[in-house]
Amino acid sequence: MIKAGIVGGTGYTGVELLRILARHPEVELQAITSRSEAGQAVADMFPNLRGRVDLVFSEPDLGRLSECDVVFFATPNGIAMTMVPELIKAGVRVIDLAADFRLKDASLWQKWYGMEHACPNLLEEAVYGLVEINRGQIQEARLVANPGCYPTAVQLGFLPLIEEGLIDPTSLIADAKSGVSGAGRKASVGTLLCEASESFKAYGVPGHRHLPEIMQGLQYATGEQIGLTFVPHLTPMIRGIHATLYGRLTESGRDLQMIYTNKYSGEHFVDVMPAGAHPETRSVRGSNMVRLAVHQPQDGDVVVILAVIDNLVKGAAGQAVQNMNVMFGFDELDGLNDIAVIP
Amino acid sequence: MIKAGIVGGTGYTGVELLRILARHPEVELQAITSRSEAGQAVADMFPNLRGRVDLVFSEPDLGRLSECDVVFFATPNGIAMTMVPELIKAGVRVIDLAADFRLKDASLWQKWYGMEHACPNLLEEAVYGLVEINRGQIQEARLVANPGCYPTAVQLGFLPLIEEGLIDPTSLIADAKSGVSGAGRKASVGTLLCEASESFKAYGVPGHRHLPEIMQGLQYATGEQIGLTFVPHLTPMIRGIHATLYGRLTESGRDLQMIYTNKYSGEHFVDVMPAGAHPETRSVRGSNMVRLAVHQPQDGDVVVILAVIDNLVKGAAGQAVQNMNVMFGFDELDGLNDIAVIP
Amino acid sequence: MIKAGIVGGTGYTGVELLRILARHPEVELQAITSRSEAGQAVADMFPNLRGRVDLVFSEPDLGRLSECDVVFFATPNGIAMTMVPELIKAGVRVIDLAADFRLKDASLWQKWYGMEHACPNLLEEAVYGLVEINRGQIQEARLVANPGCYPTAVQLGFLPLIEEGLIDPTSLIADAKSGVSGAGRKASVGTLLCEASESFKAYGVPGHRHLPEIMQGLQYATGEQIGLTFVPHLTPMIRGIHATLYGRLTESGRDLQMIYTNKYSGEHFVDVMPAGAHPETRSVRGSNMVRLAVHQPQDGDVVVILAVIDNLVKGAAGQAVQNMNVMFGFDELDGLNDIAVIP
Amino acid sequence: MIKAGIVGGTGYTGVELLRILARHPEVELQAITSRSEAGQAVADMFPNLRGRVDLVFSEPDLGRLSECDVVFFATPNGIAMTMVPELIKAGVRVIDLAADFRLKDASLWQKWYGMEHACPNLLEEAVYGLVEINRGQIQEARLVANPGCYPTAVQLGFLPLIEEGLIDPTSLIADAKSGVSGAGRKASVGTLLCEASESFKAYGVPGHRHLPEIMQGLQYATGEQIGLTFVPHLTPMIRGIHATLYGRLTESGRDLQMIYTNKYSGEHFVDVMPAGAHPETRSVRGSNMVRLAVHQPQDGDVVVILAVIDNLVKGAAGQAVQNMNVMFGFDELDGLNDIAVIP
């Protein structure tokens, strides 16, 4: 049993961490902090946790957090980087679900996130927590940068072909669709039910913060320059990301289905569906699975990859726990054994 | 480990049984039958089960089912009653999720279900599987009639006051709202997304089949004649039942909150919420919980009880597994430990 | 052509007024005010109005508003009462969509709305704008209190039986369900898509502000004391109210269907559906219609009335325009001729 | 006043035609046919039409239809082609909302629609009813092939750049998302609320019938070979299409915004939104508008066009009425003046 703390537990990734960790066989929840809700019982805010989590939100306190073996940051961007150095110094291992440690280049981070980085020296050490790609490094990591939701789906979808050099890396298109929970649990007009349901729209077409994160990951895999057009959309549902990925094949006659099957054989959480399949987001809702399908319409030179995840699980809290399992040598499935609820 | 079979596994209660039983520590899934889908892999129809359930739908076969310790019927009304006698004779214990064995009076059953009962002699023996009320009888039962979804919510809501004689049993009103999954997974125009979403309506006001079931249960508890107006409504969501129950108090000054707390103390799956609470259906989605709240608006003589369940779990498959756990002496929580997914 | 102004046009009743008035043959939109959005084009906030409304939000200015023939208040409660006296003095006729002038009793208003009334002397003069009941008074009114959304559905549903003395006025139950737009267009966590969709709950059971408004209206009709239990619920959809009304019949053998048909014969906006019908909210979505159905389940002594409206049209902006049409002698259908969009 | 008939009025395009034509100042509804519902009042099936349309569904009868000035076919594919030749001979003008006359090449039609064409000789004469492109020919047409929903959005989005030769026509990508009403009003499991809501998926990636229709239209405009990857998706909402279009610019430095503004100046139903805009489908719901926005992310060589329509209006019934208005010399706005209902 290890002791875990959560900083910033009032958002959707926070409650999802609680839901998962409350049933994790190797974890004891030690503290969950929220400056605004300090003193309130967690289960009063999230009634699904009544009888399952008896924690009370507490003020973020480095002393108490330092007693944890692992601390998760489920905070807005820019918070973790102010607390992580001290926690690491105290021997605590950290998993940051925000974006603070995802980009290796501090100036690029500053450009996209609009603030100076508080501890750029940790960027090099931080391990990008896409387990299927970086499992080895994660085992040893003191600091894991949990990937963004879109980047998880887009990278796992593109990487098999990128690594094989089978698609032109300079003309990639990622048309991604997210449920509204990706916008978080903050009061705002744009994500009211009356604004976001029964409607569909793109957003951030001029530039979205997940663009440099995806490009960094793809570039690392291929070594070549990446050209990527990334268009996210808001979909009238709560959970789920569907990434529709387009690449131009540079070679013909290869068995694309087998490339994906081989790449992800042995992975618990990646399901390569049969040729011709169209994965639906609900097939992974509430679970840590990624489901993928590869298409080559009319045998042309455009490959279409479909990838679905639950943005709050494999795209956030579930992947964070998967990282923790790897870091502490637990069974990678611990706490992540749920089956998607259909219907 | 016991061997379980499911007859009629292609509907929503069927897939929900599979989801629950696939992770049940004491159960081995032996067979799942579907006349129409025989030969198809279960996971091809329900992709959430890929990698978790490798069964193939088979023709319903009494021989094979007779090798099970328990058989669940997730069939339309009128099927179980044609197969149950033989199964029981073969020593199989049966849990019927349909309505075949819920009413004790065969002529009443015939009136509401429009067909003659095939084995009225079993009606007396069949135990009504509302565990919180009938736990003792269920332990010994060969045949359990799993309660309907509305009856579960309405009875658990009304019974504490009915049993205490605190409300007039002749003027009860149950205004109940259900998600669309209550209508099942059959092709029909009325439950298309384009017909049922963004709209709300009552149905069955002249008379719904769950009315006699509820009245039978309440009458059994009080011994007196029951007068109940029951109005079900279709709500634009997938899962969940919300019952709003109205009764006229016959006595004043009693601590209603305590009556509920006492009645359900020790029950794993009934959560009496604090005074003033308004339970929401999502707080039980995907879980076997019932959440209840009691109100006495403006300290008048009308009591309002709010009860929420997931119609497919506590209102169907979850309660069926809870019954099985009781019948076979397992921990009542086995397989039913999920926390509702919020958001 | 008359000149119309709208105070507080950034909420859902505001945009609905604009949608209706933009096509009204007798109205010229003169001004729409919003302190927070002054200077912004209306069509930038509501893109459905692009090319149809070229107004810009302006600061609320009594001078400019005084040039209007009619001013609508689509403001939060407590604003209209501070501006109405001066407007009326200037000869402007006022329709208040908020609650400021709905209750005749200033102390009752203060109790439920938590503030002192700024012009209690106008309460007597204000005409309650339920056109089907008060058409004559509305024609002459200087100040119309537009009814609340729930009160519109509940009163139109109960009144035919109340007026005929056919139900016990002391044991009425109104179980009402509203779409989320009833909560308005303000940033709040509770009405986020991720909080309010795929869930159903009651709220305000201890007491809701529409309770005294309904009771006042029913009491006025019968002269007797009213006993009403009113339970509102939040439904996961944008628009629509469904009121399920329960009354105890004091007389048997009367043709309830005919009572409703007669009461509302000649009313453009009230549709008494055939016996046995279950009106759905989408059948009135975007329109000013009320649809009603009357049931007497199992010929018992409980009558069930089903009433549906669009909370933003007949429950707010549409009814306000209907009031204006009556006040200025226009065709009552002017601007209100839309057919509900199905699906 | 002209006389209009509708063949096949029980689907979503049928009821939408009725909603629009019921208020059209120049049209008298003469007949609406449905083999399966003959004898039933239209308003019994679609309660929104109560009091507005008093027609009864009738058997399709060429004699009665021949008395119409215009007949709309809102039938499944393959029906219109069996009746149109005789109607045209009788002097009736025809607007087919199905696909029977959209493709000029009968063998291509047969390949994609799986049946032989019944009157290939009419394919040449049939005018493709994309009014903004073919207004002149439509005025004189005896037979108009009303465009498909996806093709309307995709062509209006791509055409300005295609016609100007500004994008490479061989590497086009159209990632399109549709509400569920695009699948029609037939009983089927896949479009049940419980299957299609709270989920998102692609479908038809290997090949969708709208692909050849779009390619034909684009090829006609450019004269060059078209290479198009078209991926449709099912979105959990009732109405709306959002097309996200990607093209590779062949020239830099051109003012793309102005190209769109110029192309569609004078068009009532095309709204080119300001640079940087993200149109949402609800801004056109229930209306005949198209809203477009053009983006050039990071000033790269990929142009992204966003186009939204209501699939049942501009994508079906509204465009059909727009065609009729052009054919008969009516004001193009007649009957199509609705403002989208927000929220």
Q: In this predicted structure, what is the pLDDT of residue A54?
A: 94
Cα D63 from Cα D68, distance rounded (Å):
10
Smallest Cα distance from C319 to chain D, Å: 16
d(CA B204, CA C298): 11
- Give pLDDT, residue B159: 98
CB-CB under 8 Å, D12 with B193: no
Report residue C7's pLDDT band, with 50, 70 and 90 as the boundaries: very high
pTM for the model: 0.98
Which positions in chain A touch C196 (Cβ < 8 Å)? 193
- List the single residue in B206, B295, B302 with the smallest CB-CB distance to C206: B295
Of D238, D286, D343, the CB nearest to C12: D343
Q: Establish, for the pair of chains A and C, how many residue pairs have beta carbons separated by less than 8 Å.
A: 56
User: By CA distance, what is B303's nearest residue in C?
Assistant: C229
Query: Cβ contacts (< 8 Å) between D15 and chain C: which residues?
Result: 342-343
Query: CA-CA distance, D178 to D176, in Å (whole number)?
Result: 7
HSE at residue C152, side-chain half, CA atoms within 13 A, is: 34
Smallest Cα distance from C229 to chain D, Å: 30
Q: Which helix (H) or strand (E) holds B32?
A: strand B27-33
Q: Quick one: pLDDT at residue C129? A: 98
Q: D2-125: what CATH class?
A: alpha beta
Phi, psi of C175 (to 5 degrees): -105, 110
Of all residues in chain A, the percent with pLDDT exceeding 70 is 100
Q: What is the pLDDT of residues B46-57, one digit of tens each?
A: 999 999 999 999
Q: Counting runs of H as helices and runs of E as strands, what totals does chain B give? A: 11, 13
Reduced to 3 states, what is the DSSP secondary structure of residue B233? strand
pLDDT at D85: 98
Q: Which residue of D has its CA nearest to A307?
A: D201
Residue among C233, C187, C185 at smallest CA distance from C210:
C233
pLDDT average, residue stretch C183-195: 97
Helix (H) or strand (E) segment spanning residue A271: strand A270-272
Tokens of A249: 């094949």
User: Given a contact as 3+ CB pairs under 8 Å, which chains touch D?
Assistant: A, B, C
Among the listed residues C219, C74, C70, C211, the one whose alpha carbon sits nearest the alpha carbon of residue C159: C219
Both tokens of B219, joined, read 């009458």
Q: What is the pLDDT of residue D308?
A: 98
CA dist B254 → B158, B277, B294 (Å): 16, 19, 12
Q: What type of residue sits at position B197?
A: S
Domains in chain D: boundaries: 2-125, 150-311
Residues forming beta bridges with residue D143, ordered by sequence position: D94
Number of Cβ within 10 Å of residue A52's Cβ equals 17
Rounded to an integer, the average pLDDT of B196-207 is 98
Whether D110 contacts chain B with CB within 8 A: no
**What is d(CA C235, CA D277) in angstroms, rounded to the nearest whole number?**
31
pLDDT band at D27 (very low <50, low <70, confident <90, very high): very high
Q: Model confidence at D331, in pLDDT bands (50, 70, 90)?
A: very high
Which band of pLDDT confidence, cut at 50, 70 and 90, is reported for residue C220? Answer: very high
B181 interfacial to chain D (CB closer than 8 Å) = yes
Three-state helix/strand/coil letters over D83-106: HHHHHHHCCCEEEECCCCCCCCCH
| A205, A285, A304 ranked by CB distance to D278: nearest | A205
Question: What pLDDT was estimated at residue C211?
Answer: 98
pLDDT at A17: 98
Within an 8 Å CB–CB cutoff, is residue D342 touching chain C? Answer: yes
Both tokens of B262, joined, read: 């006492």
Q: Tell me how close the Cα of B64 comes to any Cα of chain A, in angstroms.
A: 27
The residues of A annotated with a catalytic role in the active site are 149
Handedness of CA A14, A19, A21, A22 (dihedral sign): positive
Residue C263 tokens read as: 């009461």
Does residue D225 contact residue D162 with C-beta atoms inside 8 Å?
Answer: no
Give the 3-state secondary structure of residue A314: helix
- The whole-angstrom separation of Cα B261 and Cα B263 is 6
| pLDDT value of position D2 | 98
Q: Is A286 on the interface with B (CB under 8 A)?
A: yes
How many residues are there in chain D?
343
Query: DSSP letter string over D112-139?
Result: HHSS--S-GGGTTTPEE--HHHHHHHHH
Q: How confident is the model at residue D242 (pLDDT cuts 50, 70, 90)?
A: very high
Which residues from chain C sit within 8 angstroms of residue A198, using beta carbons?
Answer: 238
Contact with chain B for residue C274, Cβ under 8 A: no
The tens digit of pLDDT for each residue in C145-173 reads: 999 999 999 999 999 999 999 999 999 99
Q: Does D290 touch chain C (CB under 8 A)?
A: no
- Say yes or no for a CB contact (<8 Å) between C202 and B281: no
Closest of B108, B63, B114 to residue B90, by C-alpha: B63
Percent of chain C surpassing pLDDT 90: 98
* pLDDT value at residue A184: 95
Mean pLDDT value across residues B250-255: 93
- Rounded to 5°, the CA angle C186-C188-C194 comes to 120
What residues of B are annotated to the active site? 149
Does the CB of D341 have a partner CB in chain B at under 8 Å? no
Distance CA D211, CA D229 (A): 8
Alpha-carbon distance values, B246 to C39, C171, C173 (Å): 51, 11, 8
* C269 vs D: CB within 8 A: no
Asked if D132 and D262 count as a contact pair (C-beta separation under 8 A), the reply is: no
Write down the pLDDT at residue B236. Answer: 98
At residue A70, what are phi and psi to the nearest 5 degrees?
Answer: -140, 140
> Residue C200: its pLDDT value, please?
98
Q: Is the Cβ pair C194, A189 closer than 8 Å? A: no
Query: For chain D, what is the mean pLDDT?
Result: 97
Question: Cβ contacts (< 8 Å) between A280 and chain B: which residues?
Answer: 47
Please tell me which of the candidates B51, B238, B338 has its beta carbon nearest to residue A343. Answer: B238
Return the H-helix or E-strand segment holding A136: helix A131-140
Q: What tens digit of pLDDT does each residue of C70-88 get?
A: 999 999 999 999 999 999 9
Q: A11 vs A8, A15, B280, C55, CA distance in Å?
A: 7, 6, 19, 39
pLDDT of residue B41: 96
**Residue linked to tokens 């991604």:** A176
Contact assignment for C297 to B235 by CB distance below 8 Å: no
Q: What is the pLDDT of residues B100-148, one digit of tens each?
A: 999 999 999 999 999 999 999 999 999 999 999 999 999 999 999 999 9
Report how far apart, in Å, the C-alpha atoms of A312 and of each of A147, A183, B227 are.
12, 11, 47
Interatomic CA distance for residues D139 and A305, integer angstroms: 44
- The C-alpha angle A79, A85, A89, rounded to 5 degrees, equals 145
Pick from B194, B302, B343: which is nearest to C343 by CB? B194
Beta-ladder partners of B143? B94
Chain C residues whose CB is inside 8 A of the A185 CB are 189, 192, 194-195
- Convert the pLDDT of each residue in C304-322 to its tens digit: 999 999 999 999 999 999 9
Distance, in Å, from the CA atom of A289 to the CA atom of A309, rounded to the nearest integer, reads 6
C314 touches D: beta carbon within 8 Å: no
Beta-carbon count within 10 A of B121 CB:
9
pLDDT at B218 (0 to 100): 97
Cα dihedral across residues D32, D33, D38, D44: positive or negative: negative
Asked, as a colleague might, if the bond just before A343 is cis with ω within 30 of 0, I would say yes
Percent of chain B with pLDDT over 70: 100
- Percent pLDDT > 90 in chain B is 99
pLDDT band at B291, cuts 50/70/90?
very high
Cα of D63 to nearest chain C Cα, Å: 30
The CATH T-level fold of domain D150-311 is: Dihydrodipicolinate Reductase; domain 2 (3.30.360)
Q: Which of residues 195-234 of A touch B (CB under 8 A)?
A: 198
Are the CB atoms for A287 and A343 separated by under 8 Å?
no
pLDDT at position D264? 98
User: What's residue D205's pLDDT?
Assistant: 98
Strands (E), chain C: 2-7, 27-33, 70-73, 93-96, 127-128, 143-145, 172-178, 201-202, 228-234, 241-248, 270-272, 290-295, 302-309
- Residue segments in chain A with a per-residue pLDDT below the cut of 50: none
Residues 6+ apart with CB under 8 A from B338: A338, B286, B287, B288
